[in-house]
Amino acid sequence: QVQLVEFGGGLVQAGGSLRLSCAASGSIFRINHMGWYRQAPGKQRELVASISSGSSTNYADSVRGRFTISRDNAKNTVYLQMNSLKPEDTAVYYCNANADLIAAWGTPSYTYWGQGTQVTVSS
């Protein structure tokens, strides 16, 4: 089993910054795509940013230019640097990873989710 643990959420004023971290642990052979999603009350979960194993990135239009996703493959960790935060960024942020798991019979691929961390941006 792979576990994703998130850190860095909190309360910040508009225009401020936060950095989210997500560390993967377990019998991991390889982590493929990693990403961050968010979900506000009454709304669907949406993709914020993603990063491939080769560090190719993708961003939602609403955060492009303000957020930066990065990863440290040696530490199995993905980061989300959030700058110029707006009240509409308020949501629970979830880490996501697709990983090849080490099993007795091979390396099956699964998608995992972090527990979620609350980001609240006040006006």
pLDDT at residue 91, rounded to an integer: 98
> What are the phi and psi torsion angles at 108 (to 5°)?
-70, 150
State residue 102's pLDDT score.
87
Q: What's the burial of 120, exposed, middle or buried (CB within 10 Å: 0-12/13-18/19+)?
A: middle
Q: Is the pLDDT of residue 29 over 90?
A: no
Mean pLDDT of the chain: 95
Average pLDDT estimate for 18-28: 94
Segment 57-94, tens digit of pLDDT: 999 999 999 999 999 999 999 999 999 999 999 999 99
Cα radius of gyration rounded to whole Å, the chain: 15
